[in-house]
Amino acid sequence: MGVYCLYQDVIYHNDYLNSYAEPVLRKGSEVYNLNASDHVKISCATRDSVYNGEMNKLNPSWTSIGAGFRSSVPLTKSRPDKKDGISIIIVGFDSVSKNMFIRKVPKSYDYLTRDLNAIVLNGYNIVGDGSIEALFPLLSGKTILELPEATSFVHNSEHLKVEYFIFHLVKQYGYRTLYFEDSPKVNTFLYLVKGFMTRPADHYLRPFCVENSAIDNRDYCVGDTPQYKMMLNLTHQFLKLDGKKFGLNFMVDISHSDFNLISVVDDDLLHFLRVFKEEGHTKDKLLILMSDHGPRFLEMRGTYQGRLEERLPLMAIVLPEQLKKKRPEVQSILKANADVLTTPFDLYATMLDAMDLTQHWNKYTVKGADVPRSVSIFRPIPRNRTCSEAGIESHFCSCFKWDIVSKSNPIYHRVANALVHHINKLTSEFRYLCAVRSLTSIEWVYKHIVNKGLLSMQTSNRHFPDFYNPPEVNWELYQVRIEVAPAKGLYEGTVKYLKNLDTFVVNSKEISRTNAYAHEPDCIKDEYPDLKKYCYCYQ
């Protein structure tokens, strides 16, 4: 009788489709060697009769999926001067602020800072809203709107090119690359844009996660193993592969929706960090432990503390011994930069610096700034650096101080109404789908007078604000938190009041939706994903 299993390589085709190699039927528990893919779908039956002589007609009584690392990965031969380059391993969590990590994952944080001598960047500030505004700059040194195809991305009609990303760049210098991200439903590069047409890294986890999610609608586990633990285990295996390595393991499920779940990773993450040190990986591997942003929809998000935590995610760096020996000044410079304003743009420059690839730095400099927008944190950063110089929208700048505006001040209601008007303007051409939002309450309004050195926005359309440097400050900057109907949509927005024109201007990139919109935008989410946080569908 026996047990027959059908093995199929899960081959990445694009970010919507998975395809399979020619199936292979094996009897018993023979070891299956991965060839075309890192992942294999396994279907098993317990009776000979269900085979019926044709492998494709196997009627499985058990189905699962396995992950590993295929051996047939072509690696570019390193140049002699780049042969002993630093490897970089990034371990990331979605929606975890620096302070939340300290509170919820204390054992790992203590080991990270005490035993691994990690430097935590206290001034690490997000540059935009959501995961894509964090990971795209970190992995490319740019914002997605700076690409030639920006409009196509916004309208969800163009796939991302792997050439934009650091995975593609470092592979040309002999690096083996890895990009892991779970949670297929809210994947960073599929949530608001169309994803990749070709595999972005040598080892890419999405085909596995799509298949795993399809089995009994699994999200948090792979069989009896938590998904985050499996990803840490695979990252540990990746560390042992030959050659120089660049890898990003970004775990979403465990912290994206239920922020209290992040505490369960503490013991397993601690084990990963201990093994990282005990196996000697600190010799030549730069370890980055990070998050994209803090919680965006937590109840605490409505407080001043919550606003700051969203803008100040975790960013911790463990320097390898090889780098410290070669450049002994880096340790002290990094410590000095720990309390300076830093961004994902800077991390991109830093990683290239660590791999001795500074010729690929992005030299873009904000008009009026003294240093480029991307600065390696292995080099001194001016302590008086401003958010505008660092490429941070005013809405997300943690350096500003705000004064409360009295409800009796006429500007109080005008600012709130200006934000509602802009939200309705964004959905106006789709009024047959999206309801008009009406103001139901104002929680607070804050005011900040920006200094003359900061950038000012002259005009704005839905996607591309137009900036200029005014000869004098003829405007006032406000932040407001409101609730709108239908439903109870909560928004925070930064509104600019042009005093000489007595008018308000809103930049769409400076609006935060601070509670989950769930199925509200289902009628528009696929064709116009950039409008999801604004549209309330009639249906």
pLDDT digits (tens, 9 = 90+) for 481-493: 999 999 999 999 9
Q: How far apart are CA 394 and CA 454, in angstroms?
A: 9
Q: How far apart are CA 120 and CA 525, in angstroms?
A: 37
pLDDT of 458: 41
User: Do the Cβ atoms of 481 and 492 come closer than 8 Å?
Assistant: yes
pLDDT of 101: 96
Q: How far apart are CA 413 and CA 222, in angstroms?
A: 51
CATH 3.40.720.10 fits 80-392, yes or no: yes
Q: Quick one: tokens of 463?
A: 């996607």
What is the C-alpha end-to-end distance of the chain, expressed in Å? Answer: 54
Mean pLDDT for 450-474 is 47
Instruction: State the residue for tokens 């991305």.
Output: 153
Could you report the per-residue pLDDT of 388-438, keeping only the tens digit for each?
Answer: 999 998 899 998 889 999 999 999 999 999 999 999 999 999 999 999 999
pLDDT of 153: 61
Instruction: State the residue for tokens 């463990």.
Output: 318
pLDDT of 27: 59
Q: CB neighbours of 534 closer than 8 A, spacing ≥ 6?
A: 423, 426, 427, 434, 437, 513, 521
Question: What's this model's pTM, rounded to 2 decimal places?
Answer: 0.87
Could you report the per-residue pLDDT of 326-354, keeping only the tens digit for each?
Answer: 999 999 999 999 999 999 999 999 999 99
| CA-wise closest residue to 5 among 34, 35, 47, 37 | 47
- Residues in the chain, overall count: 539
User: Do the Cβ atoms of 535 and 521 come closer than 8 Å?
Assistant: yes
Mean pLDDT for 119-125 is 97
Q: CB neighbours of 323 closer than 8 A, spacing ≥ 6?
A: 86, 286, 330, 354
- Residue 439: Cβ within 10 Å count: 16
Strand arrangement, sheet containing 438-448: 403-404, 438-448, 475-485, 489-498, 503-513
Q: Between 144 and 492, name the one with better pLDDT.
A: 492
How many alpha carbons fall within 13 Å on the CB side of residue 422? 29
Domain ranges of the chain: 4-67, 80-392, 403-531
